[in-house]
Chain A
Amino acid sequence: AQSVTQLDSQVPVFEEAPVELRCNYSSSVSVYLFWYVQYPNQGLQLLLKYLSGSTLVKGINGFEAEFNKSQTSFHLRKPSVHISDTAEYFCAVSDRGGGFKTIFGAGTRLFVKA
């Protein structure tokens, strides 16, 4: 079984500052990793995904994440945030052989201040 831990429930940051949202996972099998963003009262939007290949994954809206197998981490980063990046961010993992059943972390609230 897989599990996902998002280490920060809230991350306040000033506009144009860099940000890193942390995610660690555990699994006994190979996994796919995802980051989703959810704006208030809306559904999920996929930011980026790691399936295979390069461990540095670039996504939409200037976000990127790095898969680190030895540390079982998949931290999300952005070099310069905007007010519009304020949202809830979810890290998720699905096992490669389980029909893509996906487990979500608890979420991190990113709050960008002017």
Chain B
Amino acid sequence: GAVVSQHPSRVICKSGTSVKIECRSLDFQATTMFWYRQFPKQSLMLMATSNEGSKATYEQGVEKDKFLINHASLTLSTLTVTSAHPEDSSFYICSANDRESNQPQHFGDGTRLSIL
């Protein structure tokens, strides 16, 4: 079945570092990918919608210069957390829609980001 791969699954880095998270659709083309953030014991909050070949659409309150999204191909979207700080520590999850089937999105397994 359709699979969305997210990498890395876990990252620990120092404050001030920029961290890139990849989201790949392995066996389908995804015109749209979504990025979510989940703080401990909270729900998933949509951060942005990533559209292949165009700029991402950010939700209210999400800093686009802080969270850079690139969707350069139909199978890959990346989220870069720039100059990360401890408050950016969270669980980041991506999802992707299968363009051909027009079915609801498939989720990646998430990336746990810890900023020291």
A contact residues vs B (CB 8 Å cutoff): 32, 34, 36, 41-44, 46, 49, 51, 90, 94, 99-107
Contacts and interface: CB of A to CB of B under 8 A. Distances in A.
The 7 A-B pairs at the shortest CB distance, nearest first, are namely: A43-B109, A43-B110, A104-B44, A44-B107, A99-B32, A104-B43, A106-B43
28 contacts: A36-B107, A41-B112, A42-B109, A42-B110, A43-B109, A43-B110, A44-B107, A46-B107, A49-B104, A51-B104, A90-B43, A90-B44, A94-B104, A94-B105, A99-B31, A99-B32, A99-B97, A100-B105, A101-B34, A101-B49, A102-B34, A102-B46, A102-B95, A104-B36, A104-B43, A106-B42, A106-B43, A107-B42
Contacts of B93: 43-44
A103 B112 CA distance: 21
Chain B interface mostly: strand
Interface of B: 31-32, 34, 36, 42-46, 49, 93, 95, 97, 104-105, 107-110, 112
A100 B107 contact: no
- Among B31, B34, B43, B108, find the residue whose CB has the most chain A CB atoms closer than 10 A: B43
Contacts of A49: 104
A3 to B, nearest CB: 12
- Among A34, A36, A44, A90, find the residue whose CB has the most chain B CB atoms closer than 10 A: A44
